[in-house]
Structure 1
């Protein structure tokens, strides 16, 4: 399978070239755009400089002037010599040594409540039960989990804990006491906890907000967008919608946190392929930090996204990118989670080699203290790794996840986005293919489009900044 080193595409009037291995992004004119793939093909065929020039002149002579073609070729050669085009992948050979690295745990997803006061139709947790029994985590189990994290974090100082569910506010007193306990561990063990709360917002009140604003580094607020969409997919168990209850509370949270260190997180399904309208709705309400993500569901679910939906969904991401760009130009910008991409330092080496960190650096803890690779594997007994009393017992599971990276997935080798998603979600791979080292194809298509849109937005903003400087 051919390994892609260059990705080219056109979006919103921009000709964009991504050098996959270096992460360099180039916005180019039509001549350079057309010359780049010819140079790559001829170099791969072993052609030398003069032969390459002759061939591209012959191929493009009816389209461009010879002077412009040769000038484009010179620019391409300069970029190649600078390591910004056709760059080699210098990290694949490190993968063997990387697998041997000491494993440290840096983050826990604490399932503080396997229970919920909503009945979201797409919930992978089965209304909070994770296909098991309803339960609330005890303070004792929670303390053991934090002790486990400290003990297994090596020299790492910054540790992350997400209070998750079900709905964690159903067990709010334990959440508070665990935060206090975590703070008591910081100085003696030279650690710093970063706590996150993920909530549907139904039980939010002033006391909870005050504590969360003081202690939670981030708050994730679940809402799907427009009232009719949210209430269709996120009802109470009696069928009533949750939108009217949560929106005023969420706006209070956003403003009390000065529109930082939170985000509203939604899920789009086959019921709202026009999800750009949901992002726009949340922005119009006043939220500045927004995530609306594709549902992952089995084809038998009536709300599941299907391959035949892809053309419309890809087009919708393009519409959303232009919408958000226009809002930014008008001084009404918002941060859309899936379009936030760092192009300054190139693809992250650690992400190339470790993926998301599930099963190694990141673990989920059930209310009774069992350890799983991540929240999406909870309840699947074949992935039970151990517990907070004994630690990791199934080191073979950990080792399998340690080896699950972009280089271990054959389908990733020809994908230009491989160093931005690092192979995608292991749980999605397992649920669709029965193995963690495959990929979820529909999700891959959407991820590629999001990356293309994110890069286009960066290019457009750089353009805008240049215009402002000229003025």
Structure 2
């Protein structure tokens, strides 16, 4: 499978199955487009009014060589692999999203967690429940050494003492069970102070900090419950935290909505504030919500990603670059094959835990009783849910089979698929369009920066 596109003056050709990416001249680009459909002599005949015949023949020879080397028009070897892998692989749990607080001190308008309530009640996780969750993780992680625990909410800092107790307990399990915990935390920053920052820098491998960009954008969507904006309070704290972590092992995460489709300006704002690690995600919500992204917004969004890609290149060349999550593609190695085929591991390797100890496939399913898998006392009792998620991969989704980006997004978000189509084996169409554009921009950036070296 081949995907071809033009971007920023580059002719880019992707061989989807091998992962090979080529930047080619005009004649090779046009010849590749015809290569599988007609003979070499017919290609020459079709292109001879546009290019010299010798150049066309040279391009065809180059294409033949790339095909022979397994870099163009390669066969898909992964579909039989994923079936065999599923049969032989014993799934272990390697990551938990601990909902340490189903409560929040902000009232973000787009919050899927209903200000931390998750379709239920406000509650803070007790140390006892969290302890059982870590015990479950250790017990069900098999021979895997590295385990991940994300403190999530709501707002985790509203239950800070229990966070610290659970980190201490997790560390106490490492040596006896030959495990290594990687703790992370996601925060809105309202309660951040010097003492907490010092602890985060000591114990948290990564910290996600939430800000939507420019002051007017952030304060429109992320106010306190009294309506006052949060920007002025949290930005100085976030800047201090990022600097204290040497601008690594964190990222600032924003959300863009219909109200700020010019989101490249928000990314530039992050960079101008001095942040080096950032992401800004499209809001996902029902079409009737006034802030939700709609199909009619896609042309504007595509232009915005192009703008952002050019700004990314410009700043990198000027020595003031930044990392944007969606443009960070590893063309050389990337995730393991199974990860590329099946995605985040929700419902199998990755579980969310509520404050009272219930297990769900991920944080976005919390509160939907159809996806309640078990609890910290009884373990996983709904093995059928594990099987359903385990069978979900790019080959179980019709929309993914012929998509050039399938090995980069791994089939997309299961929760978004379910929320829009009632099954995890579909795909959120608007999200797919944006993902394809981000992949194209990412590869163009690689070409442009390689050109500059």
Distance 2:231 2:398 in 1: 43
Contact 1:120 1:127 in 2 (8 A): yes
Give the distance between the partners of 2:32 and 2:120, measured in 1 at CA.
55
Determine if the alignment matches structure 1 residue 62 to structure 2 residue 38. no
Which deviations, in whole Å up to 9, do the C-alpha atoms of 1:164-209 show, x marking residues without a partner? Answer: 0000000000000000000000000000000001000000001100
Q: Is residue 2:344 matched to residue 1:356?
A: yes
1:135 has 2:131 as partner: no
Cα contact 1:24–1:85 (8 A) shared by 2: yes
Could you tell me which of 366, 370, 381 is aligned with 1:378? Answer: 366
Whole-Å Cα distance in 2 between the matches of residues 436 and 69 of structure 1?
46
Q: Is the 8 A contact 2:341 2:411 kept in 1?
A: no
Unmatched 5+ residue regions in structure 2?
none
Deviation string, structure 1 residues 256-306 (Cα, Å, up to 9, x no partner): 000000000000000000000000001000000010110001101000000
8 Å CA contact 2:102–2:122 kept in 1: the answer is yes
Moved more, 324-333 or 349-358: 349-358
| Alpha carbons 2:341, 2:407 under 8 Å: kept | no
Q: CA deviation at 1:37?
A: 1.4
C-alpha distance in 1 between matches for 2:26 and 2:334:
25
The answer to whether 1:88 aligns with 2:84 is no
- 1:409 counterpart = 2:405: no
Map of 1:75 onto structure 2: 62
Q: Is the partner of 1:332 in helix, strand or coil?
A: coil
Residue pairs, 1:197-212, within 5 angstroms = 197-212=185-200
**Contact 1:22/1:347 (8 A) holds in 2:** no
Q: Which residue of 157, 160, 164 maps to 1:169?
A: 157
User: How big is the shift at 1:353?
Assistant: 3.2
Residues in 2 aligned to 1:355 and 1:131: alpha-carbon distance in whole angstroms:
26
Indicate conservation of the 8 Å contact 1:98/1:353, yes or no: no
Q: Secondary structure at the match of 1:85?
A: coil
Give the C-alpha shift of residue 350 in structure 1. 1.4
Cα pair 1:24 1:346 within 8 Å, conserved: no
Question: Is the contact between residue 355 and residue 421 of structure 1 (CA under 8 Å) also seen in structure 2?
Answer: yes
Q: What is the alpha-carbon distance in structure 1 between the residues aligned to residue 7 and residue 56 of structure 2? A: 23
Contact 2:4/2:13 (CA < 8 Å) preserved in 1?
yes
Report the equivalent of 1:122: 110
Q: Does the CA contact (< 8 Å) of 1:429 and 1:439 recur in 2?
A: yes
Contact persistence 2:20–2:72 (CA under 8 A): yes
The offset of 1:131, in angstroms, is 1.0
Tell me if the contact between 1:353 and 1:405 (Cα under 8 Å) persists in the aligned partners: yes
**TM-fit CA distance, 1:231:** 0.1
1:227 aligns with 2:215: yes
Query: Which residue number in structure 2 is paired with residue 53 of structure 1?
Result: 40
Normalising to structure 2: TM-score of the pair? 0.99
- Which consecutive aligned stretches of 4+ in structure 1 deviate over 6 angstroms post-superposition? none
Matching of residue 397 in structure 1 with residue 388 in structure 2? no
Deviates more, 1:91-100 or 1:386-395: 91-100
Residues in 2 aligned to 1:230 and 1:444: alpha-carbon distance in whole angstroms: 25
CA drift of 1:347 comes to 6.9
> Residue 303 of structure 1 corresponds to which residue in structure 2?
291
SS at match of 2:142: coil
Q: Alignment length, in residue pairs?
A: 452
Any conservation in 1 of the 2:185–2:208 contact (CA below 8 Å)?
yes
Q: Is 1:316 equivalent to 2:304 in the alignment?
A: yes
Q: Is 2:29 the counterpart of 1:33?
A: yes
Task: Name the counterpart of 1:46.
Answer: none
Match of 1:241 among 215, 218, 229: 229
Coordinate RMSD, CA, aligned: 0.8
Q: CA deviation at 1:10?
A: 0.5
For 2:5, the equivalent position in structure 1 comes to 9
Q: Distance in 1 between matches of 2:292 and 2:333?
A: 36
- TM-superposed CA distance for 1:130, in Å, is 0.2
Cα offset, 1:91, TM superposition: 1.4
Q: Deviations along 1:282-334, whole A, 9 cap, x unmatched?
A: 10000000101100011010000000000000010000000111000100000
Distance in 2 of aligned mates of 1:107 and 1:320: 32
Q: Distance in 1 between matches of 2:93 and 2:36?
A: 42
Which residue of 20, 24, 32 corresponds with 1:24? Answer: 20
Alpha-carbon distance, 1:346 to partner: 6.3
Looking at structure 1, the residues matched to 438 and 63 of structure 2 have their Cα atoms a distance apart, in angstroms, of 27
* Secondary structure of residue in 2 paired with 1:110: strand
- The question of 1:455 aligning with 2:443 is answered yes
Identify which range, 292-301 or 92-101, moves more after superposition: 92-101
CA distance in 1, matches of 2:422, 2:333: 35
Tell me how far 1:97 sits from its aligned partner.
Answer: 2.1
Structure 1: gaps of 5 or more residues: 43-51, 466-471
Measure the CA separation in 2 of the matches of 1:36 and 1:345: 25
**Mapped partners of 1:79, 1:96: distance in 2:** 29
Rounded Cα–Cα distance in structure 1 between residues aligned with 2:411 and 2:151: 26
The equivalent residue for 1:331 is 319
Deviations 1:220-256 (A, max 9, x none): 0000000000000000000000000000000000000
